[in-house]
């Protein structure tokens, strides 16, 4: 009987996918335009401030800790209160345009540096909680649609789709993207809410014990969420619905856990390490444009590499399972 192992192709190589991803973006450099446009808007555009809404909340928090907390706890929370005040003054609410798990990568999202080469920026204020929720919802939806277009563009440039759908994000992909986001949010809240309640109680009992519990909770969350890292990929490369794509991602990661873990580590070290380089120019210098462009290229290349690795790994897994099933007949 012929050895079946000779009939099975070798598994996909991680470095091959990484190189192919960078080559795909280098040959289609226009793919980096969405991240560049978003970062330039967040850098030079108007800032949407939450100071009017958050300032009374921070003041109430300060009063509560002074009345109920011990002197040691009040002193420990003083630094946290100062951070919240700085956040309320400088955070740009337009950063919500950078959505997860599907969204346009951004170097400037979450930045609290108010400096720009233009010397200033228009400052807009959110005046009510209702306005905050409405604007936040609209920006999240708009950010997801931008992310849908971006993911669709990168996926169709990196790998050939199963059908001849247009380059643009279609209504079905948009709907599945929103559903995937809601499911991901539900999973994160399911894990985070009980964990944060336990950690909050332990903080009052023993801060060191709370720190250990936070580390354990973070490791558990990573163990639970890493198998879902390729959840968006099935929507854009295999036309799967959100639930099927999440299940496919979990199965794929289970078979390729060492390669996937290495890919995540390389992508994290490469992106975060280079982010320090991209942020070297001061925010009030036009040299920041170099950092924005560099971040856009690296982020897009890593996304393209993930699509290529996912496509190759899925094809190899299906081939292997099919040949294994034939061998049992």
How is 202-252 classified by DSSP, letter by letter?
HHHH-HHHHHHHHHHHHHHHHHHHGGGTTHHHHHHHS---HHHHHHHHHHH
The mean-pLDDT minimum among 71-80, 91-100, 256-265 falls in 71-80
* pLDDT reported for residue 303: 97
The yes-or-no verdict on residue 122 having pLDDT over 90 is no
The yes-or-no verdict on residue 200 having pLDDT over 80 is no
Two tokens, residue 318: 């299906």
Q: Kindly give the residue spans of alpha helices, DSSP state H, lying in the chain.
A: 14-27, 33-44, 51-68, 71-90, 129-158, 171-205, 207-225, 231-237, 242-255, 257-278, 288-328
The mean-pLDDT minimum among 1-5, 100-104, 251-255, 295-299 falls in 1-5
Where residue 110 falls (left for φ over 0; alpha for ψ -120 to 50; beta otherwise) is left
The yes-or-no verdict on residue 9 having pLDDT over 80 is no
Measured from the Cβ of residue 9, the count of other Cβ atoms closer than 10 Å reads: 10
* pLDDT reported for residue 164: 47
Mean pLDDT value of segment 154-166: 71
Above pLDDT 70, what percent of the chain? 88
Mean pLDDT value of segment 232-245: 94
* Nearest in space to 13 (alpha carbons), one of 270, 299, 259, 234: 259
Contact between 281 and 36 under an 8 Å Cβ cutoff? The reply is no
Mean pLDDT value of segment 272-300: 94
Whether the link from the prior residue into 101 is cis, omega within 30° of 0, is yes
Mean pLDDT value of segment 104-124: 84
DSSP code for 31: G
Mean pLDDT value of segment 127-140: 90
The yes-or-no verdict on residue 150 having pLDDT over 90 is yes
More confident residue, 37 or 55: 37
The yes-or-no verdict on residue 323 having pLDDT over 90 is no
Residue with tokens 């971006």: 150
DSSP code for 287: T
* Nearest in space to 54 (alpha carbons), one of 93, 89, 95: 89
* pLDDT reported for residue 213: 76
Angle at 204 (CA atoms; ends 213, 190), nearest 5 degrees: 45
The yes-or-no verdict on residue 319 having pLDDT over 90 is no
- Dist CA 62 CA 81 (whole Å): 7
Contact between 35 and 304 under an 8 Å Cβ cutoff? The reply is no
Angle at 42 (CA atoms; ends 37, 44), nearest 5 degrees: 90
Contact between 234 and 173 under an 8 Å Cβ cutoff? The reply is no
Q: Exposure string (b/e) for 27-45, b if CB count within 10 Å is 16 or more? A: eeeebbebbbebbeebbee
- Dist CA 264 CA 259 (whole Å): 9
Q: Model confidence at 202, in pLDDT bands (50, 70, 90)? A: confident
* Nearest in space to 102 (alpha carbons), one of 174, 51, 11: 174
Q: What is the pLDDT of residues 207-231, one digit of tens each?
A: 677 777 778 888 888 888 899 999 9
Q: Which residues pair with 124 in a beta bridge?
A: 48
Q: Model confidence at 99, in pLDDT bands (50, 70, 90)? A: very high
Contact between 148 and 81 under an 8 Å Cβ cutoff? The reply is no
Q: What is the mean pLDDT of the chain?
A: 86
């Amino acid at each position: 009987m012929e050895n079946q192992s000779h009939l099975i192709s070798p598994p996909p190589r991680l470095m091959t996918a990484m190189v192919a991803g960078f080559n795909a973006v280098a040959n289609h450099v226009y793919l980096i335009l969405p991240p560049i446009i978003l970062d330039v808007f967040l850098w030079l555009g108007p800032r949407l401030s939450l100071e009017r809404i958050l300032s009374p909340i921070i003041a109430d928090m300060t009063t509560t800790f002074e009345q109920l907390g011990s002197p040691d706890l009040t002193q420990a929370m003083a630094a946290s209160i100062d951070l919240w005040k700085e956040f309320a003054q400088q955070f740009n609410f337009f950063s919500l345009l950078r959505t997860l798990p599907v969204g346009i990568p951004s170097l400037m999202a979450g930045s609290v540096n108010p400096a720009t080469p233009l010397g200033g920026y228009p400052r807009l204020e959110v005046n009510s909680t209702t306005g905050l929720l409405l604007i936040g919802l609209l920006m999240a939806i708009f950010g997801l649609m931008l992310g849908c277009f971006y993911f669709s563009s990168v996926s169709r440039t990196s790998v050939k789709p199963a059908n001849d759908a247009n380059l643009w994000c279609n209504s079905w992909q948009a709907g599945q993207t929103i559903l995937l986001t809601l499911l991901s949010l539900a999973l994160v809240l399911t894990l985070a809410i009980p964990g944060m309640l336990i950690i909050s109680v332990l903080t009052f009992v023993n801060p060191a014990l709370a720190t250990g519990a936070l580390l354990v909770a973070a490791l558990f969350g990573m163990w639970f969420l890493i198998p879902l890292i390729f959840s968006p990929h099935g929507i854009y490369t295999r036309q799967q619905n959100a639930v099927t794509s999440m299940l496919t991602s979990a199965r794929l990661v289970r078979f390729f856990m060492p390669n996937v873990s290495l890919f995540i580590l390389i992508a994290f070290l490469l992106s975060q390490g280079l982010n320090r380089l991209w942020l070297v120019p001061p925010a009030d210098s036009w040299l920041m444009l170099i950092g924005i462009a560099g971040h856009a290229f690296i982020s897009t290349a890593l996304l393209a590499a993930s699509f290529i690795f996912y496509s190759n790994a899925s094809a190899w897994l299906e081939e292997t399972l099919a040949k294994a099933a034939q061998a049992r007949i």
